Chain A
């Protein structure tokens, strides 16, 4: 099973099952690092139909370990799309009504150009030869995809966590191209604590001898142990203490008593080990380094002279921000500071904080209040955009 999943992940890198848009030497991707990425490709999924006015397009931006398979069965894991609870025919984001696009970020490992992709100059995987990718680079690439569809203005851009960062960057970079924006459980910058957790994850990957200085694919290896530890540490930050306690407490795993050893005595240990192990089958370790780095580098205010409001100056985009009470990775204060900047910029903004003990991951779960907020926001924005029901 695990080997099959890993093999499928590898297949998806250069030749994904998703449609792929290739950009040749005439259309390089300008990177914040100061170099050009060329050629490169974007793998994407679409749902629904673009209307004649091309006004009903919704771009979904995925989180750190997400992918473009937002509303279809994932080709690697065989699981439902990561936001299928929200997106689909007759759902809150109704694909009978909207044209939904979701692309794998540049730097990812499911078909868009990333460190596991074959470097055409060498015929080998890029590894660490890939320049550092930023959130703005991801958004720039998405804009090229949107151009390909002939869409001038997206009806909505939405996403959670790293996806939310892309949403904010979209409005800052292309203010005229976003009618409404829904950044969820996110921040305008990565906090010191968040960078710290990412650094722990990266160091775990790089400490694994199988990482081979980033060239593990050339050796036919993968730093599974390091990446699994990175995932375990990160996974804790996606949950809350209350939720962990409710779910696992101090319960023992398949045993009556402590074993006085280092086996997974506790359910929480077993759970984390499982999370780590399944993750390494579906994710490239170098991609994990690149994408965590992209989040660390994100600081929207710094990109606009240190004043966040200036990132949104004169914006006509309608915003709805959502945070969760128990999210300590992107606590409510992060959203609130964005709201204050939007107020100062005179933007139309709604802000909902949702009471839940499910932590950061709440944005991916079936949260009725989240859905009610998204539903109300999308419905009123669609009316304002003149999109028929």
Chain B
């Protein structure tokens, strides 16, 4: 289980949003690090959906309830409001149809928690503006031709999509390059410029 620093902070923020004993669906559960954390600290009834078979087998071997499946195609099999929380951690940008996926999350969960790398971060803007290259950073280490991340968005883009889907932002957190939370008093443009990661708590 390897988790980089940004992911770890992200997981902590997500975990803080979930009250004990909730029913949680983790979409894109990877090797189960979030589910295990949630079960250990919040005693949640946790389930997972993960694309890679290797990740699924690891999860199940560790006693987690995880199935192999694709967020783009398999969320439709879940019942309406079957979970208190549906978490999509660092996966939205890798889906083929983020709008449909987000819509499904809001249907399946009473609350949806979505975290993603902010493509409006100044380093990203700097890379394109000055270097004229697609950004490759520590947290986004892929080149344009081999990246699984096909639908990047900025914090502002995401807020717009939420409005379009009729979702209410109950809480939002932006983390700067050091994994520090950016002050709540700061305006959206500041978040969008200095936030490297964003975590949203949504409901509809």
Spell out A's residues near B (CB within 8 Å): 318, 320, 339-340, 343-346, 348-355, 369, 372-373, 375-377, 379-381, 383
B19 at interface, CB cutoff 8 A: no
Contact with B77, one of A340, A379, A380 (Cβ below 8 angstroms): A340
How many residues on B have C-beta within 8 angstroms of the other chain's C-beta atoms? 21
Interface centre among A345, A350, A379 (most CB of B within 10 A): A350
Task: Please tell me if B82 contacts chain A, counting CB pairs below 8 Å.
Answer: yes
- Residues of B whose CB lies within 8 Å of any CB of A are 45, 47, 53, 56-57, 59-69, 74, 77-79, 82
With beta carbons under 8 angstroms apart, the residue of A339, A353, A354, A380 that contacts B63 is A380
Given contacts A376-B60, A377-B60, contact A349 B77 (CB under 8 A): no
Q: A340-B77, A343-B77, A353-B53 are in contact. Are A348 and B47 (CB under 8 A)?
A: yes
- Specify which chain A residues have a CB less than 8 angstroms from the CB of B69 in the assembled complex: 339
Q: Top 10 A-B pairs ranked by shortest CB distance?
A: A380-B63, A351-B67, A372-B61, A376-B61, A340-B77, A343-B77, A376-B63, A350-B60, A373-B60, A346-B82
Return chain A residues, CB-CB under 8 Å to B67.
339, 343, 349-351
Can you list 20 A-B pairs, Cβ within 8 angstroms, ordered by A?
A318-B65, A320-B60, A339-B69, A340-B77, A343-B74, A343-B78, A344-B77, A344-B79, A345-B79, A348-B45, A350-B56, A350-B60, A350-B64, A351-B66, A372-B57, A373-B60, A373-B61, A375-B61, A376-B61, A383-B63
List, in ascending order, chain A residues with CB within 8 A of B56's CB.
Answer: 350-353
Chain B nearest CB: distance from A86 CB in Å?
A: 15
User: CB distance B47 to A352 under 8 Å?
Assistant: no
Q: How far is the CA of A152 from the CA of B45 in the complex (A)?
A: 25
What's the minimum C-beta distance from B171 to chain A, rounded to whole angstroms? Answer: 26
A349 touches B78 (CB 8 A): no
Which secondary structure dominates where chain B touches chain A?
A: mixed
C-alpha spacing A106/B53, complex, angstroms: 37
Chain B residues lying within 8 Å of A351, measured Cβ to Cβ, are 56, 60, 66-68
CA–CA, A350 and B64, complex, Å = 7
Interface contact B78-A344, CB-CB below 8 Å: yes
Tell me whether A379 and B68 are in contact (CB under 8 A): no
Known: A340-B74, A343-B78. A355 touches B53 (CB 8 A): yes
A349–B78 CA distance with the chains assembled, in angstroms: 12
A370 CB to nearest chain B CB (Å): 10
Cα distance, A363 to B134, chains bound together (Å): 47
Q: How far is the CB of B16 from chain A (nearest CB, A)?
A: 25
Of chain B, the residue at the smallest CB distance from A318 is: B65
CB distance from A380 to the nearest CB of B (A): 3
Closest-by-CB residue of A relative to B56 is: A352
Q: Which chain A residues border B57 with CB–CB below 8 Å? A: 352, 354, 369, 372-373
Give chain A nearest CB distance to B141 CB in angstroms. Answer: 27
Residues of A within 8 A of B64 (CB): 350, 376, 380
Q: Which residues of B contact A320 (CB under 8 A)?
A: 60
Residue picked from B45, B61, B77, most chain A C-beta under 10 Å: B61
The closest CB in chain B to the CB of A380 belongs to: B63
Return B107 CB to nearest CB of chain A, in Å: 13
Distance of A260 Cα from B126 Cα, bound (Å): 77
A375 to B60 Cα, complex, angstroms? 9
* Interface contact A377-B45, CB-CB below 8 Å: no
Task: For the complex, give the distance between the alpha carbons of A340 and B79 in Å.
Answer: 10
Contact of B65 among A344, A345, A348, A354 (CB under 8 A): A348
